[in-house]
Amino acid sequence: MLQGFYETVGRLFSRERIKSTERMIRNAGYNQSAEAFVGFLVIVVGLLSLLAFFLMMNYSVAYSFLVAIFGPALYLPEFVLWAITFIVAVAGVSFSVWILVWVFLLLRIEARKNAVEAALPDFLSLIAANVRSGMTVDQAMWYAAKPEFGILSIEVKGIIKSSFSGEPFEKALDRLSTRFNSKVLERTVLLVKQAMATGGEVAEILEITSEDAREVAIQRKDIASTLLVYVIFLVFASTFGTPFLFSVANKLIVVLGMAFSYLPSGGLGAQVSQMSFIQPSAPVISPGEFQWFSIATIFITCLIASLILGVIQTGSKTQGLKFFPFMLLLSYVVYFVVSSFLESIFASMFI
């Protein structure tokens, strides 16, 4: 019953969106209907949005934010404040849920891709050996699906069972390629289909493909080890260097602001009146504003650094997202620890 309700809600979205979602959940290894998946997310977003709306109204979050921007003289009718709060709650929850689900699916897709590409060379070699012993391709794949090949064996056994049940073998192979977001597997399936259609040497093609896949994996490992120095520099700069410099700059703004507040009015200006190119003044940005700027910039820096780290190590930027929470947490810890340390040092300077 709930499945049908979720599918009804999911059909409210365009077919293009449903197809793209279906492709993602298939690559992630799920067999659930795309309409039901989208409908379930819509219901979850709706419930969480209502909860966020009541919490924001209870603590006057939206009104406090608007007052901080437009000043304490701001007056809004109650229904306008409710509407603004509801829109902010729905937008914030929708964006957060979408980001979390998208990142989860991407990481799962990449993990399955890496697993299948790591097992594919040995798997293809075993299929080739079975074909040379006189087996058909589907039988060779069935007996080659050993437990040590992990998720690849599970998926292969599933499509071979469908083939034994009457589904055309070529169609089952196409369905196997859609279960993983792997260009290597997709090209392998295409080569096998072409060899079967033209009567080519399937075993020889599988062996050559196996060697090519193994060579690509070795080259990726060599590139990752060569770029290890860049990885160390990138992690250090994003998690230690950036928050350290921002915390020092923030305390410098505090110290300069307090120093200028102790100067007599016009005293420093009279001393430098003959040097018109020097116009010393207090910082135009407050420490609080610079702190928010620092926090946002650290977030963006860690996000970009994690994506670059994923490209360097695995060749896929989405793999770097798994490093992002740890890098961000470490950066904020460094920022606030250094800020507290500097504050304790300069606490007695302007007493």
Do 232 and 137 reside in the same domain of the chain? Answer: no
Residue 273 lies in a domain: no
Per-residue pLDDT of the chain (351 residues; tens, 9 = 90+): 677 888 888 888 888 888 888 888 888 888 888 888 888 899 999 999 988 888 877 766 666 666 666 666 666 677 777 788 888 888 889 988 988 898 888 888 888 888 888 888 888 888 888 888 888 888 888 888 888 888 888 888 888 888 888 888 888 888 888 888 888 888 888 888 888 777 667 888 888 888 888 888 788 778 777 878 888 888 899 999 999 999 999 888 888 777 766 665 555 555 554 555 555 566 667 788 888 889 999 999 999 999 888 888 777 787 788 888 899 999 999 999 998 888 888 776 555
Q: Which residue is it, tokens 């040995």?
A: 122
> Where is the domain boundary, 92, 109, 126?
109
Do 104 and 81 reside in the same domain of the chain? Answer: yes
Residue 67 lies in a domain: yes
Residue 209 lies in a domain: yes
Q: Give every CB contact of residue 288 below 8 A, 6+ residues apart in sequence.
A: none
Do 124 and 207 reside in the same domain of the chain? Answer: yes
Do 188 and 259 reside in the same domain of the chain? Answer: no
Total count of domains within the chain: 3
* Residue 302: predicted pLDDT: 92
Do 139 and 105 reside in the same domain of the chain? Answer: no
d(CA 123, CA 127): 6
For residue 146, give its domain range: 113-217
Do 199 and 133 reside in the same domain of the chain? Answer: yes
Q: Give every CB contact of residue 8 below 8 A, 6+ residues apart in sequence.
A: 35, 39
Amino acid in position 317 = K
Residue 351 lies in a domain: no
Do 248 and 341 reside in the same domain of the chain? Answer: yes
* Residue 317: predicted pLDDT: 80
d(CA 147, CA 41): 34
Percentages (nearest 5) of helix, strand, coil residues in the chain: 80, 0, 20
Do 98 and 127 reside in the same domain of the chain? Answer: no
**What are 53-58's contacts with CB under 8 Å, separation 24+?**
53/85, 53/86, 53/89, 53/90, 56/85, 56/88, 56/89, 57/82, 57/85
Q: Which of 175, 185, 182 minimizes the C-alpha distance to 210?
A: 185
By the 8 A CB rule, do 109 and 184 touch? Answer: no
Do 160 and 174 reside in the same domain of the chain? Answer: yes
d(CA 112, CA 152): 9
> Where is the domain boundary, 109, 138, 157?
109
**CA-based R_g, the chain, Å:** 30
> Where is the domain boundary, 78, 94, 109?
109
C-alpha distances out from residue 335 to 234, 246, 256, 291, 339, Å: 17, 7, 20, 10, 6
Do 200 and 239 reside in the same domain of the chain? Answer: no
Do 180 and 231 reside in the same domain of the chain? Answer: no
pTM: 0.72
Span between the terminal Cα atoms of the chain, in Å: 70
d(CA 295, CA 76): 30
* Residue 242: predicted pLDDT: 92
* Residue 300: predicted pLDDT: 93
By the 8 A CB rule, do 23 and 105 touch? Answer: no
